[in-house]
Amino acid sequence: MRMQLVSFLRFAVFAMAGIWLAAVGTTSLAQERGGTLILLVHPEPTTLASYSHSGATTTIGATKVYDGLLEYDRQLRPVPSLATEWSTSEDGLSMTFKLRKGVKWHDGKPFTSADVQYSIMEGIRELHPRGHTVFAVVDSIETPDQYTAVFKLSKPAPALIQTFASDETPMIPRHLFEGSDLTTNPLNNAPVGTGPFMFKEWVKGSHIVFERNPNYWREGFPYLDNVIARFISDAGTRVSALEKGEVHASINDAVPHEDVRRLDGLDHLEVVRKGHVAYGPILLLEINNRRPPLDQINVRKALAHAIDRQFVIDKIWFGDGVIATGPIPETQAAFYTDDVYKYDFNPEKARKLLDEAGLKPNADGVRFEITHDMLPFGGAWQRLGEYLKEALGDVGIKVTLRQQDFPTFLRRVYTDYDFDLTSTWFISLADPTMGVQRIYWGKNIRTGVGFSNGSGYSNPIVDDLWERAAVEPNPETRAELYKELQRIIVDEIPVVWMMERRLAIVKNTRVHDLITTAQGLRDGLYRTWLSKE
C-alpha cells in the first residue's frame, strides 16, 4: 500500500511538473531574447563556492553557474532539474534519482552520477554550514550506472526531499575538484557548472560577469545574454543607479529601507516582496554563550527585555517584518508555535534580572561592557547597532560598536569566536532540519564554517530532540518534538530573536519573470528576460 502511495505521489509530482514547465514554454514565445541583466549586489561576496558557503551574495552568483538535482515551485513542490525522476523506498532508507542524459559541464565533460556522489559526500556534507545537519543521515551514495544515484540513509529523512535546489545543493564537477583541497581550489572564484550561465570574469570591487551558456540543456534557455553582479559600496550611489536605470534589480539590503517606498513610487521601478517562500529569514542577535557574564541565562534574558523590537521593525526596517517569537518562523506553519516566552520590551525587568545576577551598576551606572559586531550589509545594520548601544546602555550595559568588512566579520564570529554580540540574519528554509537546526545543534559548532552554531549553545536534551525530529516519519509527532524544542531553546535564549524579515527587491519594470521559483533570485534566472527600452 505504501509503495503504491509513493508511486502515486511521484506520478502526481511529475504530472504537475509537466504542466508547470509547459506553461513556462507557452508564455516564452512572447519573450524577448538577449540583453544584459545587471543585479545590484551588496556586499561583494567573499567567494562563489556555494557548496561550502551559504551567504546570500555567494548563492546569488553561484546559482547562475550551478544546477541542482531539483527545483521547487512557489508551493515548494519539487520539479525536475538535473534529476528527471526520484523515488523513496518503502522503508524510507533509500532515495533513488534518475539523472538527465546529455548534460555537459561548461568545459564539455558529461555530468554523471559520480558528480552527484562527490558533490554531496565530499563537498556539501563536509563543508556547507547546513550540509552537516541535512545530510547527516546519508551513509553513502551508490552509483549503479552513470545516470542513477541511490542515497543510502541510516534513518528516514522526511526533510531531505526539500534540499536539492541549486542554492542549497549545487552539483560541482568531480573531474575538476577531486584530489584538491576544496577550500582553496581556484574554481571557488571561477566556477564551472552545468547551469544557464558561464563564469566570465570577476573584477574585484566592481563586478562579476556571467555569460549565456549556448549549450544549456534546457533548449532555448536562457533568454539573457549576460547577467552582471555589480558592487557599489556607497548606498546613495546604489539608489541613484537604480533610479537612472544603470542597474535593473537589487537584492536584500542593497537599497536602504528608507528609500524602498520612495522608489516604489517611480514609474519605471517596482518593489517585489513575494517569491522567497523557501527562506523564512530571521534577523537575530548572536550572543557568545562562552563568555561571562553572557553565559548566564538571566543575563541573556535581560538583553532581550531591554530591546524594543517593534521599534526596530518600524523605525529601522520601515515595517518590513514581524516580531520573531523563537527559532522557528511562522513560515514553517506545521512546526511553529507562539506558545513560548516572547521577551516583551521591559527595561525594568531587565534591570531586575541583572541585579539578581549580581551585576550591580558602578558609580557611572555601568554593570558590564560588551562589544557589538555589526553585520556589514548596509546602513540599517549600523542604525541597529546605534539603537542597541542606547537601549542596552539604558539598563547599564555599555556597548562598543565595531565595524569591519564581511570576511573579517565571518572569521571573528565563526572561526575565532572573538565576539560578545553580533547582528545577523539566517534563512530558515522549508523545514527546521534544513535551516534552523544548524544554529542551535551542539554538534554543529564547527570552527571556520560561517553561519553555523556561532553562539556555542549546546544542550544534550535539545540535541537529542533535533535528531529525533529530523527522522520522525509521523508529522504530528514531529511537530510536537519541534514545539518542545522551541520551548526549551526560548527559555535558555542562546540568541535574541528580533524579527522575521520580509525581503524587498527593487526592480526595473523592464525586467520580467525575475521570480519564478521558491528560490527567488537564488535560482538560475534562465527564464528572466528584458523588454526593450
pLDDT digits (tens, 9 = 90+) for 260-294: 989 999 999 999 987 767 788 999 999 999 999 99
Per-residue pLDDT, 507: 97
Per-residue pLDDT, 31: 75
CA dihedral 17, 62, 116, 124 (to 10 degrees): -120
Neighbours of 256 (CB within 10 A): 17
Strand, helix or coil at 440?
Answer: helix
Beta bridge partners of 12: none
Neighbours of 181 (CB within 10 A): 7
| Per-residue tens of pLDDT for the chain, all 533 residues | 333 334 333 433 443 344 334 334 434 445 789 999 999 999 999 999 999 998 889 999 999 999 999 999 988 899 999 999 999 999 999 999 999 999 999 999 999 999 999 999 999 999 998 888 899 999 999 999 999 999 999 999 988 999 999 999 999 999 999 999 999 999 999 999 999 999 999 999 999 999 999 999 999 999 999 999 999 999 999 999 999 999 999 987 789 888 998 999 999 999 998 776 778 899 999 999 999 999 999 999 999 999 999 999 999 999 989 999 999 999 898 999 988 878 999 999 999 999 999 999 999 999 999 999 999 988 899 999 999 999 999 999 999 999 999 999 999 999 999 999 999 999 898 899 999 999 999 999 999 999 999 999 999 999 999 999 999 989 999 999 999 999 999 999 999 999 999 888 999 999 999 999 988 899 999 999 999 87
HEC profile for 69-92?
Answer: CEEECCCCCEEECCEEEEEECCCC
Predicted TM-score (pTM) of the model is 0.83
Determine the longest span between alpha carbons in the chain, in angstroms: 74
Neighbours of 469 (CB within 10 A): 24
**Checking DSSP bridges between strand 505-508 and strand 281-287, what pairing results, if any?**
unpaired
CA distance to 10, 86, 94, 96, 526, per residue, from 13 (Å): 5, 10, 19, 15, 22
Average pLDDT value for the chain: 92
Per-residue pLDDT, 28: 42
Determine whether 75 is exposed, middle or buried from the number of CB atoms within 10 Å of its CB (0-12, 13-18, 19+). Answer: exposed
Exposure string over 429-451, b if 16+ CB within 10 A, otherwise e: bbbbbbbbbbbbbeebbbeebbb
Per-residue pLDDT, 12: 39
User: Residue 52 and residue 59: Cα distance in Å, rounded?
Assistant: 10
User: Residue 295 and residue 298: Cα distance in Å, rounded?
Assistant: 9
